[in-house]
Structure 1
Amino acid sequence: MTALLLELSPEVDAALKAGTAIVALESTIITHGMPYPANLETAKAVEGEIRAKGATPATIAVIEGRIKVGLTGEELDILAQAKDVVKASSRDLAVAMVKKQWAGTTVSCTMRIAELAGIRVFATGGVGGVHRGAEETFDISADLTELGRTEVAVVCAGVKSLLDIPKTLEVLETQRVPVVAYGTDHFPAFFARESGMMADHRLDAAADIAAMIKAHAEIKAGTGILVANPVPEADALSPTEIDGIIDAAVAEAAEKGIGRKALTPFLLSAINQASEGRSLKANIALVLNNARLAADIAVALAA
């Protein structure tokens, strides 16, 4: 199946055959999450952090309809600057393949491909969740459904506070997804270290998280695991400040009728502008921080 569906880079192929540590990486953070050239610089820095920890990075994307697991430097360059790249969730993957599109893969899509490839640890910025007003719009990210059925551990900085975090955590509980906070009792909120919600579980060592991933697989739980890693304190925004900025951005999006796939990229851009670039700085810092933790977990798991 892997040989027919996926194109593995030589580096990823060798790591899979050797059973060494690999960390999957999504590509919508490159195509839709950050402006150029910050997106390209961040993508290369993230891969560098993972290699420095002794693991192999596997950035995942769809290129001309081919599912690529591990990108070349040239492919990263093109992806970072391309204007006609689609944003592919799990449901969009087959269409992107048939239409031979370039696509950035979301959390749900990256999880699906990582599981097909046999990669068990995935680092991202933040996962999608239940949008504000979902009781009327039913706008709930496919990331949560994927976490409920795909056995990949996702290391993230929690959930963006532009979402409804309490409802997101309720859906994760319904989906039977363990939520583990790394080194804290609080569930983080992406730009901020605390969301006001307590985490269900706390683990303080990458080796303990790796042991949990192994045990979770052995009991055939059949779900992913969400590992919430707070943004570094030096780069965090205060909850009060970021919540005010987000409220204004959400109101602007509603006024302009922006929703569905276009909503999150619009909000991130508006938040970055209103925070005078500090939200982008925090975003880059937390992605690098998640990559380092994911690599430590993957190394421990491989051992």
Structure 2
Amino acid sequence: MKKFLLVMVSVFLLIMVVGCQQANNETKREEGKVVVTTTIGQIADIVKNVGGEHVQVEGLMGPGVDPHLYQPSHGDIKKLQEADLIFYNGLHLEGKMDEVFKKISKDKPVVAVGESVPKEKLLSKQEDATAHDPHIWFDIELWSYAVHAVKDELIKYDQENKADYEKNADEYLTQLEEVQSYAKEQFSHIPGESRVLVTAHDAFGYFGRAYDIDVKGLQGLSTDAEYGLKDVQSLVNMLAERNVKAVFVESSVSQRSIQAVVEGAKKKGHTVSIGGELFSDAMGEEGTEEGTYIGMYRHNIDTIVSALK
């Protein structure tokens, strides 16, 4: 009898555990809200600001996550399936998720916000003019197209709250314009010869174009690209020739590549320091200033200016 009771208790506990696990894997839908799933945090931030109280946002890629290499988990697929709307960057940023988006788009709106930017405003790869730089959030003018894309899609899905979405979008765009003005004022303190931004991969092209900064990345537009000794040596020579004093690491990329550049410069007799950590493909921790798009952007501005001026 005791053995039977023990077995029954064990079975009951197993059912409870499995049930809890299933509940944790499901999106807890808040009544009356539009459930939106996004890839990178920068897009999630747009949806939170534009959608306000009318949306429930599920972001797939958190702090320190590299979207170029990201492989969706079963839990991610479930979040995508349960969403009312899906927003991703596109332009091959989330390259390993393209097939997933293609399949899910047959059942619900799946929007690549990067596709809203006019092609003539995009930067292209030198070796392939048809492939564009996906890091559009580093140019606030371009990122404004993404804000409008999110607003329009929310209105299309939820006409009842159109006025709120329009009001929220206008307020958010005003805040972005203020950050852009702040960036231009701060970068005016960096002398012309010191306006060189060296990072692990080439994520800051739009940033450099917007603020007249020469950007050099050890790897290409994607962290999936390989780099070799020749690439390191070329960057080291440039640092020495232009007397660049600082290089930067990225929160979502291993520091190993930039450390190789620092060591290479040292062997050449040129001292280069790590100017700080920048947020490139991922934002900071949830609940911190850097965990918002505006906070991340201002952090990058302040870190770069402090190291280069």
TM norm structure 1: 0.33
Bigger Rg over Cα? 2
TM norm structure 2: 0.32
Q: Which has the higher contact order (CA 8 A, sep 6+)?
A: 1
